[in-house]
Amino acid sequence: MNAYQPLNCDLHDYLEIACMHSYGLQIELLDGRSFAARALTTRTAPSKEEFLVLENDNGQFEVRLDQLLAITPLDANASFGRVELAGSYCAF
C-alpha cells in the first residue's frame, strides 16, 4: 500500500457524523470495490494512519481513510448525501 495521505480535515466531520449516528454507509474504495457497512468509529494508529472502523454481517473491520473514494449514507434521515473523499488530503 502507498504512503498514507491524511484526509482533508473538513471531510472528517462527515465520518464523525456517520459514526456518531451509526449510519449504514455504501462505501466506495479507490480500487473499485463497493460494499455496505455500518460506521462505528475512527481510529488513529501510532504511525498516524487513520482508519474508519466498520461493521457488517461478517464482523468488524477497518478501512484506511486514504483508500476511500466516497461514502453514501443508507439511512433515510441522514444529514448528508454522497461525499467524495478521494484526492482531498490535508496539506501540512
User: 4-52: per-residue pLDDT in tens?
Assistant: 888 888 888 999 999 999 999 999 999 999 999 999 999 999 999 999 9
Would you say residue 68 lies in a domain?
Answer: yes
Task: Tell whether the model's pLDDT for residue 92 goes beyond 90.
Answer: no
13, part of any domain: yes
Give me the sign of the Cα torsion angle 89, 86, 67, 28. Answer: positive
- Domain, as residue range, for 71: 9-84
Is pTM beyond 0.85? Reply is yes
Question: Does residue 63 sit within a domain?
Answer: yes
C-alpha cell at 71: 461514502
Q: Does residue 81 sit in helix, strand or coil? A: coil
Domain count for the chain? 1
Domain-located, residue 52: yes
Residue 3 lies in a domain: no
